[in-house]
C-alpha cells in the first residue's frame, strides 16, 4: 500500500508599488512594454537596486509562517535561456533563502500543520504571447517581486493541498502582501507528487529515503486555481497508485493539468537542462538583516486567521462556522470586533454580517470597507431591533436604505415613518378591523386554536406595513375577543 507525498511550490506576487530591483510600477493591464526601464530589460550597464518594501513584505510573510530568518539577504543568479527572461538569468535566492524551517497550520482538517522548507524573494519574468506564427513579448511583469514558498511533501490529498492554499491565501491577504488571486496569477502553484510505501515514515521535512523509491517524483504545473490543485492532485495520486498497484514504475517527469479533460498529461520534453549553473549575484551585496530591523517588521505582524478564529469562538461565544466566515477577510473580522466593542450583541451582529449584509455586498459587488455600512450604523440598527421594537422586515428595509442613501438607520426609520406603532389607541382600530374581516379565524381562536392568533397577528402587521408591535397586537386581539367585541 502506498501513501502519497505531496509538496507545493507557491509563488506569491507581492503588492509593492514598484518592481523588486527597479523603480518601474507594478501594474497589470497596461499597454505592453510601457512599464519597463534599462534595469528590468537587462540593458548593458544596468544594476539592480533592492526595493525595501519588497524586503519588508517578504520578511513579514516569513515571520507569519514561523520561519527562521537568514542573518543576511543574499541573491543568486539562476540561468536559463528564455525570451521572457530579460537577462536570461533570474535573480533569486538559492544558496541562502530568506526563510527556512517554517510551518503553516491548515485551518480545518484536524489542525494539521505542514512544514515550510524555505521561503525566498525573487523576480518575475515577462510574458510571451503567441499570435499565429508570431511571438510577442511583454516585459511589464518582468522584475515584479515574488516570494516563493516551498512546503515539505507532507500533504496526502488534493483536499489538503487546497486547504493549504486557502489558508495561505487568507494569511497573505491579512498581511496585505498579496491579493491572493490565483485566477489572475497573484498566487501560482506547482506541485510534486510521489508515493512512499506505507509504514515507511520519514521525519517531517526530511528528504525521501535513499535507495530507489517505487514512485519517482512527478512535477505538476498549470494549476491556476485551488480547485484545479485539488482535482489534479486527486487525479495524479490515483494515477500513480494504479501504476504501482499493477507493479509498474512511475516515471519522473513534468505533467500539465488539462482542465478540459480533467487529467494530467506528460509535458513535451523540451530537452532542457535542469542545471541552472547558479552563481552568487555580485551586483547585489549581502544585505544584513539586523535584529532591530526584523523586530520592527515583526511589530507589523497582525493576528493571523487561525488564532483569531479560535479567539472569536472563545471570546464571543460564536459558532465555528460563524467565526470561519468572519475571519475569511480581515476587514470583516475587524468590523465585527469594532461593532461588538460598541455594544452589539456578538451573535446577532455575526448573523447579520453573514446573511443580510453579505447578501447586499455580493449583489452590489462591494467590499465592507467600501460600503456605507459602518460598524456604528450596524450597532444602531441592531439597537432599533432590540430596544426600539422594530421588526425584522423593517430592519431589512432600513439596511437596504442605509446602503442606498448612506444615512443613519434611526434617521431613515424616523423619516420614513417606520417607527413601531406601540400605542393601544392607535392599534385598537386595526385589530378590530382585522377581526371583523376574518370572522372565521376569530371564531377558531375563540375555540382555542392558537394558530389563528399568528394568522391574525400577521394580518395586522401587514395592515401596518410591519410597523405594529406584534406583542401588543396579540394582547389586543385577546382583549377584544374577551370583551366579546370580535
| Shortest reach from residue 16's CB to other proteins, in Å | 17
Q: d(Cα 297, Cα 63) in Å, to the nearest integer?
A: 9
- Stretch near Zn ion under the rule CB under 5 A, chosen from 15-23, 361-369, 434-442, 476-484: 15-23
Q: d(Cα 474, Cα 480) in Å, to the nearest integer?
A: 10
Q: d(Cα 239, Cα 249) in Å, to the nearest integer?
A: 11
- Contact partner at residue 309 from other proteins, Zn ion, none, CB < 5 to 8 Å by partner kind: none
- Contact partner at residue 83 from Zn ion, other proteins, none, CB < 5 to 8 Å by partner kind: other proteins
Residue 175 sits at φ, ψ, to 5 deg, of -80, -15
- A 10 A CB-CB count for 319 gives 13
Residues written for the chain: 486
- Binding test (CB under 5 A) with Zn ion, winner from 6, 8, 24, 218: 24
- Contact partner at residue 22 from other proteins, Zn ion, none, CB < 5 to 8 Å by partner kind: Zn ion
Asked if 84 contacts 135 with a C-beta cutoff of 8 angstroms, the reply is: no
Q: 468 by DSSP, 3-state: which?
A: strand
CA separation, residue 404 to residues 220, 350, 361 (Å): 48, 22, 12
CA 363 to chain centre: 19
Q: Which is nearer to other proteins, 90 or 115 (CB)?
A: 90
Number of helices (H) and strands (E) in the chain: give both, helices first. 16, 16
139 binds other proteins (CB under 8 A): yes
| Inter-axis angle of helices 409-416 and 392-405, nearest 10 | 110
Asked if 173 contacts 15 with a C-beta cutoff of 8 angstroms, the reply is: no
Asked if 106 contacts 164 with a C-beta cutoff of 8 angstroms, the reply is: yes
- Contact partner at residue 136 from other proteins, Zn ion, none, CB < 5 to 8 Å by partner kind: none
Q: Which is nearer to Zn ion, 39 or 350 (CB)?
A: 39
| Shortest reach from residue 52's CB to other proteins, in Å | 12
- Which cell numbers hold the place of 451? 394558530
- Stretch near Zn ion under the rule CB under 5 A, chosen from 18-26, 303-311, 328-336, 382-390: 18-26
143 binds other proteins (CB under 8 A): no
Q: d(Cα 191, Cα 255) in Å, to the nearest integer?
A: 10
- Binding test (CB under 8 A) with other proteins, winner from 72, 184, 265, 283: 283
Q: d(Cα 398, Cα 162) in Å, to the nearest integer?
A: 39
37 binds Zn ion (CB under 5 A): yes
- Binding test (CB under 8 A) with other proteins, winner from 56, 79, 112, 354: 79
323 binds Zn ion (CB under 5 A): no
285 binds other proteins (CB under 8 A): yes
Q: Which is nearer to other proteins, 136 or 426 (CB)?
A: 136
Q: d(Cα 80, Cα 60) in Å, to the nearest integer?
A: 30
CA quadruple 461, 462, 463, 464: dihedral sign:
positive
- Contact partner at residue 456 from Zn ion, other proteins, none, CB < 5 to 8 Å by partner kind: none
89 binds other proteins (CB under 8 A): yes
365 binds other proteins (CB under 8 A): no
Binding mask 94-133 for other proteins (x = CB under 8 A): ----------------------------------x-----
Q: d(Cα 255, Cα 264) in Å, to the nearest integer?
A: 6
- Stretch near other proteins under the rule CB under 8 A, chosen from 56-64, 80-88, 176-184, 330-338: 80-88
| Shortest reach from residue 177's CB to other proteins, in Å | 23
40 binds Zn ion (CB under 5 A): yes
Asked if 118 contacts 150 with a C-beta cutoff of 8 angstroms, the reply is: yes
- Contact partner at residue 437 from Zn ion, other proteins, none, CB < 5 to 8 Å by partner kind: none
With CA atoms as reference, report the closest residue to 332 among 300, 363, 361: 361
Residue 470 sits at φ, ψ, to 5 deg, of -60, -40
Q: Which is nearer to Zn ion, 40 or 390 (CB)?
A: 40
- Which cell numbers hold the place of 294? 526584523
Q: Which is nearer to Zn ion, 90 or 306 (CB)?
A: 90
Q: Which is nearer to Zn ion, 36 or 191 (CB)?
A: 36
Binding mask 262-281 for other proteins (x = CB under 8 A): -------------x-xxx--
| Shortest reach from residue 86's CB to other proteins, in Å | 6
DSSP 293: H
DSSP 209: P
- Please list every residue from 14 through 53 that binds other proteins, using CB under 8 A: 38, 41-50
135 binds other proteins (CB under 8 A): yes
- Contact partner at residue 43 from Zn ion, other proteins, none, CB < 5 to 8 Å by partner kind: other proteins
Interface residue list for other proteins (CB under 8 A) = 38, 41-50, 77, 79, 81-83, 86-89, 128, 135, 137, 139, 275, 277-279, 282-285
Interface residue list for Zn ion (CB under 5 A) = 22, 24, 37, 39-40
Amino acid at each position: 500500500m502506498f501513501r502519497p507525498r505531496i509538496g507545493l511550490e507557491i509563488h506569491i506576487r507581492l503588492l509593492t508599488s514598484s518592481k523588486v530591483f527597479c523603480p518601474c510600477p507594478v501594474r497589470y493591464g497596461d499597454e505592453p512594454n510601457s512599464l519597463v526601464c534599462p534595469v528590468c530589460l537587462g540593458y548593458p550597464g544596468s544594476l539592480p537596486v533592492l526595493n525595501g518594501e519588497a524586503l519588508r513584505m517578504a520578511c513579514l510573510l516569513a515571520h507569519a509562517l514561523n520561519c527562521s530568518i537568514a542573518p543576511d539577504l543574499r541573491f543568486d543568479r539562476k540561468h536559463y535561456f528564455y525570451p521572457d527572461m530579460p537577462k536570461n538569468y533570474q535573480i533569486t535566492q538559492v544558496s541562502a533563502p530568506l526563510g527556512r524551517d517554517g510551518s503553516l497550520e491548515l485551518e480545518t482538517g484536524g489542525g494539521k500543520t505542514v512544514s515550510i522548507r524555505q521561503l525566498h524573494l525573487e523576480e518575475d519574468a515577462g510574458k510571451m504571447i503567441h499570435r499565429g506564427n508570431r511571438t510577442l513579448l511583454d516585459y511589464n511583469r518582468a522584475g515584479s517581486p515574488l516570494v516563493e514558498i516551498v512546503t515539505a511533501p507532507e500533504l496526502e490529498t488534493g483536499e489538503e493541498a487546497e486547504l493549504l492554499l486557502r489558508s495561505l491565501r487568507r494569511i497573505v491577504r491579512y498581511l496585505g502582501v498579496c491579493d491572493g488571486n490565483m485566477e489572475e496569477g497573484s498566487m501560482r502553484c506547482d506541485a510534486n507528487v510521489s508515493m512512499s510505501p506505507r509504514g515507511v515514515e520519514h521525519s517531517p521535512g526530511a528528504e525521501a529515503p535513499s535507495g530507489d523509491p517505487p514512485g519517482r517524483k512527478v512535477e505538476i504545473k498549470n494549476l491556476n486555481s485551488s480547485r484545479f490543485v485539488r482535482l489534479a492532485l486527486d487525479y495524479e495520486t490515483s494515477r500513480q497508485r494504479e501504476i504501482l498497484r499493477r507493479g509498474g514504475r512511475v516515471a519522473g517527469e513534468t505533467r500539465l493539468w488539462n482542465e478540459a479533460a480533467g487529467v494530467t498529461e506528460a509535458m513535451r520534453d523540451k530537452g532542457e537542462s535542469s542545471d541552472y549553473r547558479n552563481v552568487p549575484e555580485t551586483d547585489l551585496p549581502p544585505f544584513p538583516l539586523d535584529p532591530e530591523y526584523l523586530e520592527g517588521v515583526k511589530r507589523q505582524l497582525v493576528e493571523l486567521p487561525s488564532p483569531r478564529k479560535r479567539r472569536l469562538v472563545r471570546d464571543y461565544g460564536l459558532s465555528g462556522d460563524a467565526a470561519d466566515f468572519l475571519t475569511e477577510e480581515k476587514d470583516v473580522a475587524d468590523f465585527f470586533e469594532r461593532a461588538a466593542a460598541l455594544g452589539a450583541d456578538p451573535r446577532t451582529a455575526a448573523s447579520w454580517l453573514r446573511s443580510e449584509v453579505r447578501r447586499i455586498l455580493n449583489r452590489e459587488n462591494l467590499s465592507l470597507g467600501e460600503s456605507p455600512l459602518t460598524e456604528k450604523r450596524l450597532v444602531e440598527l441592531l439597537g432599533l431591533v432590540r430596544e426600539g421594537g422594530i421588526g425584522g422586515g423593517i430592519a431589512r428595509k432600513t439596511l437596504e436604505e442605509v446602503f442606498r442613501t448612506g444615512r443613519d438607520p434611526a434617521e431613515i426609520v424616523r423619516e420614513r415613518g417606520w417607527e413601531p406603532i406601540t400605542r393601544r389607541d392607535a392599534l385598537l382600530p386595526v385589530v378590530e378591523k382585522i377581526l371583523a374581516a376574518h370572522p372565521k379565524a376569530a371564531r377558531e381562536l375563540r375555540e382555542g386554536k392558537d394558530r389563528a392568533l399568528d394568522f391574525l397577528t400577521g394580518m395586522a402587521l401587514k395592515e401596518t406595513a410591519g410597523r405594529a408591535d406584534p406583542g401588543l397586537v396579540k394582547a389586543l386581539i385577546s382583549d377584544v375577543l374577551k370583551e366579546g367585541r370580535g
